[in-house]
Amino acid sequence: MADIRIGLWLDQPDSHFLDEILAMPGGEAAAACIQCGTCSGACPTVRFMDSSPREIMAFVRAGYRDRVLNSNTIWMCASCYSCYVRCPKEIKITDFMYKLKQIAMREGYKNPDAKRARILSKEFADNVKSLGRNNEMWLLLKYFLSTGIFSALKYTGMGLSLLRTGRLEIFPKKSKSVSDVRKIIAKSREEAAMRP
């Protein structure tokens, strides 16, 4: 694909990165982006992003791996699908954001804004793996323990009120499904490792 330079970036286009993105379901649609900016206009968190969704699409097409994976944008995406449903070229932008998060996590790209989101994703996955279901109490506890943010204290009032009304489970119920889920995950990882 032609490199669409929209500035003099230092990044070197990375065709392997581009291939990986294009290979995801719906990935080839990136080529159809007309840079209209509708996605950025629809995005509720764009003001907190260092590159807008439109810019991310441009960088992806140009193969600017580091610029995309170092951005906070992918972590500021709340997966609300506003961009996705409005894009005139029907590009599944939210899925691109997911895919980019996956690559950034896998390859250890560490945007400071991403720290908490990365931990939450990881804890969540661990939680599901070990319990079959997601236990909100453990998730929050582990999340606060692993981030060490004592803004956690801010949540004490919320936590106490939930405990009082019996809305946080203290003893996680282990879903019987857990052995199934573990097997499915193991098999899925086996297969993923064999993907080109």
Partner 1 sequence: MTRYTYYPGCSLGATAKPYAASIAATALPLGIELREIEDWNCCGATAYMSYDHVEAFSIASRNLAIAEKTAEDGGAQVVAPCSACFAVLNNAVHYMAEDPKLFDRVNDALSAAGLRYEGNVKVRHLLDVYINDVPEELLKSKITKNLEMVRLAPYYGCQIVRPKNEFDHYDMPTKFDDYLELLGAQVVYYPVKTKCCAGTFITTQPEIAARMIGLLLKSAKDRGADAVVTCCPLCQFNLDNFQKEAGEYWNQEFNIPILYFTQVVGLAMGIPPGDLEIDDHRVSADALLAKIV
User: Interface residues with ligand SF4 (CB under 6 A)?
Assistant: 33-39, 42-45, 53-54, 57, 77-83, 87-89, 91, 93-94, 97
Cα angle value 136/160/168 (rounded, 5°): 25
Min separation Cβ 143 and ligand SF4, Å: 21
CA 166 to the chain's CA centroid: 31
Min separation Cβ 46 and partner 1, Å: 11
Residues 6+ apart with CB under 8 A from 90: 29
Binding of partner 1 at residue 185 (CB under 8 A)?
yes
Binding test (CB under 8 A) with partner 1, winner from 134, 145, 156, 193:
134
Binding of partner 1 at residue 36 (CB under 8 A)?
no
C-alpha to C-alpha distance for 33 and 45, rounded to whole angstroms: 21
The string over 127-157, giving b where at least 16 C-beta atoms fall within 10 Å of a residue's C-beta and e elsewhere, is bbeebbbebebbbbbbbbeebeeeeeeeeee
Cα angle value 112/110/4 (rounded, 5°): 105
* Closer to partner 1 by Cβ: residue 8 or 195: 195
Helix axes 136-147, 115-131, angle to 10 degrees: 140
Longest dimension (CA), the chain: 60
Binding test (CB under 8 A) with partner 1, winner from 6, 81, 88, 145:
81
Give the footprint of partner 1 on residues 137-156 (CB under 8 A): 137, 140, 143, 151, 154
C-alpha to C-alpha distance for 75 and 60, rounded to whole angstroms: 16
Binding of partner 1 at residue 101 (CB under 8 A)?
yes
* Closer to ligand SF4 by Cβ: residue 13 or 37: 37
CB 119, CB 151: distance < 8 Å: no
Which does residue 36 bind out of partner 1, ligand SF4, none, counting CB within 5 to 8 angstroms by kind?
ligand SF4
Min separation Cβ 80 and ligand SF4, Å: 4
Residues near partner 1 (CB under 8 A)? 24-25, 44-45, 48, 75-76, 78-82, 84-86, 92, 94-95, 98-99, 101-102, 105, 113, 116-117, 120-122, 124-125, 127-128, 131-137, 140, 143, 151, 154, 158, 161-162, 165-169, 173, 175-181, 183-189, 191-192
